[in-house]
Amino acid sequence: MKKRTIVTMPGDGIGRIVLDQAIRVIDAAGFEADYVEGDIGWEFWCNEGNPLPERTIQLLEKHKIGLFGAITSKPKDEASAELSAELQGKGLVYKSPIVALRQHFKMDICLRPCKTYKGNPLNFIRRGANGEVEEPMVDVPIFRQNTEGLYGGVEWSSPDGIVYDALMTHPQFVKNFGDVPKEELSVSTRIFTKHATERILRAAFNHARKYGYKSVTVCEKPNVIRETSGMMYKMAQQLQKNDYPEIELWNTNIDAQMMWLTKNPETYGVMVAGNMFGDILSDGFAGLIGGLGFACSAQMGESGVAVFEPTHGSAPKYASYENSIVNPIAMIESACMMLDYIDENEMAQKIRKAVAAVIEDGKVRTYDMLKMAGRPDVIEKGAATTEQMTDAIIARL
């Protein structure tokens, strides 16, 4: 096994807590690496005016692999207000550093697997036709386009000049917004390119082929958002016909899909969507497998840089507790995705089996698994600390 250097980026709030636990687990499994810490997050925004310092970008350019904890993001005005006094009034605008990372390194492919752990008390259950309780087993890898769409950052408030003139060339804009004063307009674009769309579609189909999923579902809104969603679905049809005929292609609208989410989640295989819809879809499916404490992700792209992170936020109030109560499994699973990426598949599976065994055994459960409110006293009521959950997983190893 080649010894690697991993860039660790704790970020904000509980990011450092869960990241430290994930490293404990992969170390215990036998993974040998050097770790270098990259600065990222709210502290660096407030003190330097940049939540993603150039030195962190350089670390990732050099070492290629990153483990990321969690990030705090706030609206534009709140972010500006928290800048240090010497940075106030300098025209600095906050931008999410994780979004900036994705775009800088062209990490356009995001994979968010949503898979049921047997015995998890948070698993989705439903009533059967005769009133019996059913617990469908969900196994849905979601591919989310990471760099385009609504998260592309091409936006204007009070558009003027050539931007407004260009908007006025579109008959629907003239009809619906032509008489709206410019200062009352805010515009966000939703841009899809054929290159990036083909990449995310091929990633989804290749994953289905490699791991034996019978279908790929495009979850967009082509009946209304005809140019972007329509292009993605049309390209998916062509790819499936020409290159992946053995894999079924399904098409669902994002709004209907959220309605169907609890009806038959076990019937879906791989799903793929643009940035915003993929975000919504993956959080919805994460809710069926226990919530964000179990939701992991990988960001990959043509640059060769890859970053692995849980999809939960920084939860700053929990970071202040004397004994951490947060669930580290999403971060541990993200580390497993990193191991898969560098072809340490056996080690990743060993860890996943240990996690599964702890969950099924049911003796060690964090507060979320016990359906408690996230307060410091949950430990006294039988909830495991973050460290105790990690200890149990390591013991299974």
Token reading at 324? 């951490």
Query: Is the confidence at residue 178, as pLDDT, over 90?
Result: yes
Question: Per-residue pLDDT averaged across 289-312, rounded?
Answer: 95
- CA–CA distance, 99 with 81 (Å, rounded to integer): 21
Q: Which pLDDT score is estimated for 26?
A: 98
Please answer whether residues 99 and 71 qualify as being in contact, where contact means their C-beta atoms are separated by less than 8 angstroms. Answer: no
pLDDT tens, position by position, 84-111: 999 998 889 898 899 899 999 999 999 9
Q: What band does 3 get if pLDDT is binned at 50, 70 and 90? A: confident
| Span 211-228, average pLDDT | 97
Q: What's the rounded Cα separation, in Å, for the pair 5 and 32? A: 9
Out of 3.40.50.2000, 3.40.718.10, 3.30.230.10, 3.40.50.2300, select the CATH number for domain 124-153+191-288.
3.40.718.10
Predicted local distance difference test score (pLDDT) of residue 38: 98
pLDDT digits (tens, 9 = 90+) for 41-89: 999 999 999 999 999 999 999 999 999 999 998 888 899 999 999 999 8
Distance in angstroms (rounded) separating the CA atoms of residues 393 and 388: 9
pLDDT at 1 over 90: no
Region 4-26 average pLDDT: 97
Q: What residues are paired with 273 via a beta bridge? A: 144
Domain with CATH 3.40.718.10 in the chain: 1-107+299-397, 124-153+191-288
- Output the DSSP codes for 231-294: HHHHHHHHHHHHH-TTSEEEEEEHHHHHHHTTTSGGG--EEEE-HHHHHHHHHHHHHHTTSGGG
- Of 76-80, 101-105, 124-128, 393-397, the poorest mean pLDDT is in 76-80
Report phi then psi at 106, rounded to 5.
55, 45
Residue 112: which of 368, 345, 299 has the closest Cα? 299
Give, in words, the CATH class of 1-107+299-397. Answer: alpha beta
**Quick one: tokens of 27?**
């170390």
Bridge-based pairing state of the strands 270-273 and 139-145:
parallel
